[in-house]
Amino acid sequence: MVTVLKLGGSVITEKDRPETLDGETLAALAAAIAEADVENLVVVHGGGSFGHHHAAEHGASTTEGIRDAGGVMDVHGAMTTLNRFVLSRLHAEDVPAVPVHPFSAAVRDAAGDLTLMTDQVATMLDEGFVPVLHGDGVVHAGEGVTVLSGDEIVTELASALDADRVGLCSTVPGVLDGDDEVIPRIDAFDEVADVLGVSDATDVTGGMAAKVRELLALGSPADVFGPDDIGSFLAGEEPGTRIG
């Protein structure tokens, strides 16, 4: 049984303050992961105020690339810094977390289609590690380096590893309707298109609307929930919004 869990950048960082960690929330999430102790867990984290801030400054998105190495390193470097913070909080809870930097393991072709290497992730699981991937830059034929969202990594991993459970922990308790109530289930984009928006903070990968689109394309169910529900998700429940 494989579980893919994304820790949203909006949860583990202060998304409206450049390169600012939300250390307290990250520590609480790490403690919940340690306590649940699920087998075959892959963690992916988003960019928050680390990746999105630099990507926006360089005019980068999932389709618009960066062509200079300094710009690439601003984005990738900020994401590896955030990855270090995530790893160290997990290590503090004795979770056997190890890094995987997607910049060196992925490519987009000229049509924008992604190839992500996942054999190393599968072997890390077999060897008892918890691989920790993250949103990153990705070399993109004809564009230089574009942005690779953690959400896209989640769906790629879920398919490649044939994941049984997929969870996205964001800053909201689920996908919200027009009255800010959690929508329990989404089966089609059109059902919710008018309430879905981008992120409140700087975000180059499309916020909740892009997340729902990406998860519907996965073809198996995924749960979107808030930080208070991570324990419930890891215990096998279905908190928040079930998508697909």
Ligand X SMILES: C=C(C)CCOP(=O)(O)O
Binding site for ligand X (CB under 6 A): 9, 46-47, 51-52, 55, 75, 79, 135-136, 147, 149-151, 204-205
Please, what is the minimum distance in Å from the beta carbon of residue 235 to ligand X? 24
Evaluate whether 191 touches 210 at the Cβ level (below 8 Å).
no
Distance CA 227, CA 189 (A): 24
Interacting stretch for ligand ATP, rule CB under 6 A, among 21-29, 91-99, 154-162, 191-199? 191-199
Distance CA 240, CA 34 (A): 21
Does the annotation place 76 within a ligand binding site? no
Distance CA 89, CA 162 (A): 27
Please, what is the minimum distance in Å from the beta carbon of residue 226 to ligand X? 16
Burial of 164-177, coded b for 16+ CB within 10 Å and e otherwise, reads ebbbbbbbbbbbbe
Residue 176 binds ligand ATP, judged by CB under 6 A: yes
Residue 74 binding partner per list ligand ATP, ligand X, none, with a CB distance cut-off of 5 to 8 Å that depends on partner kind: none
Residue 55 binding partner per list ligand X, ligand ATP, none, with a CB distance cut-off of 5 to 8 Å that depends on partner kind: ligand X
Residue 48 binds ligand ATP, judged by CB under 6 A: yes
- Please choose, from the candidates 12, 112, 87, 4, the residue with its C-alpha nearest in 3D space to the C-alpha of residue 52: 12
Residue 79 binding partner per list ligand X, ligand ATP, none, with a CB distance cut-off of 5 to 8 Å that depends on partner kind: ligand X
Residue 11 binds ligand ATP, judged by CB under 6 A: yes
Both tokens assigned to 142: 């004809």
- Give the neighbor-by-neighbor strand order of the sheet with 3-7: 97-99, 130-134, 41-45, 3-7, 165-169, 222-225, 241-243, 185-186
CA dihedral 50, 54, 60, 61 (to 10 degrees): 20
Please, what is the minimum distance in Å from the beta carbon of residue 94 to ligand X? 26
- Please, which of residues 118-157 interact with ligand ATP by CB under 6 A? 150
The structure tokens 């929508």 sit at: 183
- Give the neighbor-by-neighbor strand order of the sheet with 144-148: 114-116, 106-108, 136-140, 144-148
**Which of 154, 175, 186, 218 touches ligand ATP by CB under 6 A?**
175
Please, what is the minimum distance in Å from the beta carbon of residue 93 to ligand ATP? 21
**Which of 47, 102, 144, 240 touches ligand ATP by CB under 6 A?**
47
Evaluate whether 81 touches 19 at the Cβ level (below 8 Å).
yes
Does the annotation place 8 within a ligand binding site? yes
Binding site for ligand ATP (CB under 6 A): 8-11, 46-48, 52, 150, 170-172, 175-176, 195-197, 199-200, 203, 205, 207-208, 211
List the binding residues for substrate. 47, 52, 150
